[in-house]
């Protein structure tokens, strides 16, 4: 359906109705919401449901019009308890948390090859297979990362409608701008572990952090 809409603006307008007149949501809008939930206290983030409307408005579905109803609060408390139990089962006693971080760091820093494979957009097209190619690129040096950067060993990546929009040039200010940037890296979502971090990166973003979902 996405490819049909991209090829035929009239059908896209018929499918989307009034929404067709609104601008596309940007990946950064989604990552901003996720980042805010990650940084929020557990009591606030557990069980939270955020709805990002096409207009860009964020609706807190889980909170309701005022304070969360008692039933919702009880549900959130139960979820927190389950999450805590699951975390303990994964990590063991609380004292093992540093050991878990060390294990992740050791796993992430296992032998790094001299090159890695990545997907790049080589031409603009709603056909993701035709628009992209897999290429070999030099592995960044863990000891020479630019400020604010981390090196991540990726385990899983996904491709969805957002990637089709991106390979079509729809997430750029214009098709002309997208063409001028070819070839450019593809991909929004992945799960991995941080291998190394620049000297100005601290906290959970440092080496051994993760697994985590990233936007790139």
**pLDDT, tens only, 39-59:** 777 666 667 778 878 777 888
Per-residue pLDDT, 26: 77
Per-residue pLDDT, 67: 42
CA gap 182, 133 in Å, rounded: 12
Classify burial at 9, counting beta carbons within 10 Å of its beta carbon; exposed 0-12, middle 13-18, buried 19 or more: exposed
Per-residue pLDDT, 94: 44
Average pLDDT over residues 168-173: 88
Out of 3.20.20.70, 3.90.180.10, 1.10.150.170, 3.40.47.10, the CATH code matching 111-216 is: 3.90.180.10
Which of 214, 216, 201 is CA-nearest to residue 35?
Answer: 214
Per-residue pLDDT, 134: 95
Considering only residues 146 and 97, tell me which one the structure prediction assigns the higher pLDDT. Answer: 146
Considering only residues 168 and 214, tell me which one the structure prediction assigns the higher pLDDT. Answer: 168
What is the pLDDT of the chain when averaged over all its residues? 75
Most confident of 14-18, 121-125, 154-158: 121-125
Query: What pTM did the predictor assign?
Result: 0.52
Helices then strands, counting H and E runs in the chain, come out as 9, 8
Per-residue pLDDT, 215: 47
Percent of the chain whose predicted confidence (pLDDT) is above 90: 21
pLDDT level of residue 148 (50, 70, 90 thresholds): confident
Where are the domains positioned within the chain? Answer: 20-91, 111-216
Per-residue pLDDT, 66: 47
Classify burial at 186, counting beta carbons within 10 Å of its beta carbon; exposed 0-12, middle 13-18, buried 19 or more: buried
Per-residue pLDDT, 214: 46
User: Over 60: is that where the pLDDT of 202 sits?
Assistant: yes
Weakest-pLDDT range from 41-50, 51-60, 109-118, 163-172 = 41-50
DSSP annotation of 1 reads: -
User: Over 90: is that where the pLDDT of 136 sits?
Assistant: yes
């Amino acid at each position: 359906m996405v490819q049909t809409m991209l090829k035929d603006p009239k059908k896209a307008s018929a499918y989307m109705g009034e929404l067709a007149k609104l601008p596309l949501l940007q990946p950064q809008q989604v990552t901003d919401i996720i980042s805010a939930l990650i940084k929020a206290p557990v009591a606030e983030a557990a069980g939270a449901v955020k709805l990002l409307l096409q207009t860009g408005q964020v609706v807190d579905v889980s909170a309701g019009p005022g304070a969360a109803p008692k039933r919702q609060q009880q549900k959130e408390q139960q979820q927190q308890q389950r999450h805590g139990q699951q975390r303990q089962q994964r990590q063991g006693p609380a004292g093992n948390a540093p050991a878990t971080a060390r294990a992740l760091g050791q796993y992430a820093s296992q032998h790094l090859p001299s090159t890695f494979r990545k997907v790049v957009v080589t031409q603009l097209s709603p056909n993701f297979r035709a628009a992209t190619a897999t290429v070999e690129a030099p592995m960044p040096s863990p000891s020479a990362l630019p400020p604010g950067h981390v090196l991540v060993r990726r385990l899983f990546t996904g491709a969805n409608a957002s990637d089709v929009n991106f390979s079509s040039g729809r997430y750029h200010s214009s098709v002309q701008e997208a063409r001028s940037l070819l070839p450019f890296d593809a991909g929004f979502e992945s799960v991995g572990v941080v291998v190394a971090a620049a000297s100005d990166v601290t906290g959970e973003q440092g080496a051994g952090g993760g697994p985590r979902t990233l936007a790139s």
